[in-house]
Amino acid sequence: MTSKPARTLLRVLDGEAVWPQPIWLMRQAGRYLPEYRETRGEAGGFLELCYNPDFAVEVTLQPIRRFGFDASILFSDILVVPHALGQHVWFEEGEGPRLDPIATLDDVKRLGDTKDPLEHLAPVIETVRRLRAELPAETTLLGFCGAPWTLASYMIAGRSSPEQAPLRLAAYRDPAFVAALIERLVETSIRYLVAQIDAGADAVQIFESMGTSLPPPMVESHSLGPLQRIVTGVKAARPEAKVIVFVRGGGHLHRLAQAGFADAVGIDWQTDIAQAVAGLPAGLASQGNLDPWRLVAGGRALEEGIDAILDATRGRPHVFNLGHGIEKTTPIAHVEAMIARVRGA
């Protein structure tokens, strides 16, 4: 077995303080790029784009060609997992995802009972395989999935919901239903991430994008516990796997760090970066946390945001990134300016 190249992001995940810091952006392949908008138009729809390896490879490579980021993240969506489990998922133009909601334990028992979810996800795995062959050797390839709490919020509400109220209500009213759903998502996510790693992903990220809605008593049982089971399951199958965990909601950051199962923790834009990294173990890699709207604003606001992150993380393992996904109105010139400032620091 040949060893992988010493890609800079992987060095950071191994605990090395690399300078200049490697950089990539959450949602870096997306609507702010004209070439993405053109390709999506050719694909005919968002899910068609996700499930067609020709289109998915193309849009994943677009920001690498344009900006030369240090990492490329698979173009897909977290909702391909509930879709693979048999839930009806579609996207309304300008409004986002829609799902036929699930509401009972019987609904959970029917998930994945007609087809192996990995068969449904085979086109996504093929995209990963092609990407590793086509990406520059020095570019880290990242796979990903959504965290169970985040996925469950969509699956129960049928759409994005303010403060994830339908999921929280279900967790209080029918804890057995929600616990079973989360466990099914843990099992499927482990298999999905292992398949991505086997296809060529250098590392994977788990997105707990709805972490801000977690009531404190549910943080361990509904988020950190399931996240740990996923990471443990992935590493049991592939011991050298590297996993980044992004939990939106800074109040959970240090509980995540103290649990010790992630190779890197993502830091959202609502968290003070200096305070956050000061409380992290010295060898634990961090990632983030530029406010996406600073990138839209550009100029002095962008420069100050970049410098604050670089000052706070100098001398420790850190991946420069946003604190959430890039906004569709982001000017390309601002992305170029950000990269130049990070790399020229």
Q: Which residues are catalytic?
A: 27, 31, 40, 77, 154
Pairing between β-strand 96-99 and β-strand 243-247 as defined by DSSP bridges? unpaired
The response to whether 341 counts as a known ligand-binding position is no
Q: What is the Cα–Cα distance from 330 to 307, expressed in whole angstroms?
A: 19
- Calpha distance 239→317 (Å, rounded): 21
For 127, residues 6+ apart whose C-beta sits below 8 A from its C-beta are 53, 56, 57, 60, 74, 75, 76
Contact 10, 4 (CB under 8 A): yes
Determine whether the annotation assigns residue 77 to a binding site. yes
Element (H, E) at 91: strand 89-92
Please give the DSSP secondary-structure letter assigned to residue 72: E
154 marked as binding residue: yes
* 301 annotated as a binding-site residue: no
268 carries a ligand binding annotation: no
Q: Is 29 annotated as a binding residue?
A: yes
Q: Is 337 annotated as a binding residue?
A: no
Contact, 271 vs 263, CB < 8 A? no
Which residues are documented as binding site? 27-31, 77, 154, 209, 324
